[in-house]
A and B are shown apart, each in its own frame.
Chain A
Amino acid sequence: MCLAIPGKLVEIFAEGGLKMGRLDYDGTINKVCLEYVPEIVIGQYALVHAGFAITILDEEEAAHSFDAWREFNNIREKEGAITFDNRPGKVRD
Chain B
Amino acid sequence: MSDNDQVPSWSGAPVCPLPLTNHETVQLAHGSGGRMSAELVAKFFQPRFSNPYLDRLEDQAVLPRPAGRLAFSTDTFVVDPLFFPGGSIGDLAVNGTVNDVCMSGATPLYLSVGFVLEEGLPLATLHRILLDMEKAAGQAGVTVVTGDTKVVPRGSCDKIFINTSGIGVIPEGLALSAASLEVGDQIIISGTVADHGMAVMTCRQGLSFHAGITSDTAPLSSLISEMLRATGAIRTLRDPTRGGLAATLNEFAGTSGKGLEVVRELIPLRPEVAAACEILGIDPLNVANEGKLVAVVAADAAAGLLAAMRHHPLGREAVVIGEVVASHPGLVAVKNAMGILQILEMPLGEQLPRIC
Contacts and interface: CB of A to CB of B under 8 A. Distances in A.
Interface of A: 3, 5, 22, 25-31, 51
Contacts of A22: 210
B281 A28 contact: no
Contacts of B213: 27-28
A27 B281 contact: no
A57 to B, nearest CB: 15
Of the listed residues A3, A25, A28, the one surrounded by the most CB atoms of chain B closer than 10 A to its CB is: A28
B212 interface: yes
A28 B275 CA distance: 7
A27 B271 contact: yes
A12 B271 CA distance: 24
B209 A29 contact: yes
> Shortest 6 CB-CB distances between A and B: which pairs?
A27-B272, A25-B275, A26-B275, A26-B271, A28-B211, A29-B210
A5 B208 contact: no
Interface of B: 202, 207-213, 270-272, 274-276, 278-279, 281
Of the listed residues B207, B210, B213, the one surrounded by the most CB atoms of chain A closer than 10 A to its CB is: B210
A28 B207 contact: no
Contacts of A26: 271-272, 274-275
B279 A5 contact: yes
12 contacts: A3-B281, A5-B275, A25-B272, A26-B272, A26-B275, A27-B212, A28-B212, A29-B209, A29-B211, A29-B212, A30-B208, A31-B207
Contacts of A28: 202, 209-213, 272, 275-276, 279
Contacts, number: 43
Nearest to B272: A27
A50 to B, nearest CB: 11
Nearest to B206: A31
Nearest to A29: B210
A45 to B, nearest CB: 13
A28 B212 CA distance: 6
Contacts of B272: 25-28
B278 A25 contact: yes
Given A28-B211, A31-B209, 13 more contacts: A3-B281, A5-B278, A26-B271, A27-B211, A27-B212, A27-B271, A28-B272, A28-B279, A29-B211, A29-B212, A30-B209, A30-B279, A31-B207
A34 to B, nearest CB: 14
A5 B211 CA distance: 15
A51 B280 CA distance: 12
Contacts of B212: 27-29
Contacts of A3: 281
Nearest to B213: A28
A89 to B, nearest CB: 29
A41 to B, nearest CB: 21
A22 B208 CA distance: 9
A70 to B, nearest CB: 19
Nearest to B278: A5
A30 B208 CA distance: 5
Nearest to B198: A28
Nearest to B270: A27
Nearest to B271: A26
A29 B270 CA distance: 15
Contacts of A27: 211-213, 270-272, 275
A28 B273 CA distance: 8
Contacts of B271: 26-27
Nearest to A48: B279
B6 to A, nearest CB: 21
Of the listed residues A5, A25, A27, A51, the one surrounded by the most CB atoms of chain B closer than 10 A to its CB is: A27
B208 A31 contact: yes
Contacts of A31: 207-209
Contacts of B274: 26
Contacts of B210: 22, 28-30
A32 B103 CA distance: 43
Contacts of A5: 275, 278-279
